[in-house]
Amino acid sequence: MSKTDIWQGTLALMILKTLDTLGPLHGYGIARRIEQTSGDRLSLNYGTLYPSLLKLEQEGWIVSEWGVSENNRKAKYYKLTRAGRKQLEREANEWNQTTAIVARFFEPVEDQS
């Protein structure tokens, strides 16, 4: 199976969930974790990741601070805020409802006769 791009609107949810699960991470770590969690089926473009991180930070759902990465390089680390945790809960509920609705369209149709 070839790698696919992240679906529109789901990247923020994946970033929030990744930070909720693993705690503070730098951008590269977030990207690797999302790709790893997808079983390497998703390919994360940095031109997509960083604008999403910036938008999440502007929304107040994550905060960032400079730190040092595992290989001794300066890196910006992102962390979930309390508001981000609440947003994650809302988005997860919406996602579950949406996927349940779409799944209904793929259920076998019962004979109406």
Task: Report pLDDT digits (tens) over 7-23.
Answer: 667 899 999 999 999 99
Pairing type for strands 74-80 and 62-68 reads antiparallel
Joined together, the tokens standing for residue 2 give: 């070839």
- If you average pLDDT over residues 65-72, what whole number do you get? 91
User: Which candidate, 62, 58, 70, 66, places its Cα nearest to that of 29?
Assistant: 70
Residue 70 confidence class, pLDDT cut points 50, 70, 90: confident
User: Which candidate, 84, 12, 9, 90, places its Cα nearest to that of 50?
Assistant: 12
Contact present, 75 and 68 (Cβ < 8 Å): yes
- CATH class (in words) of the domain with range 11-104: mainly alpha
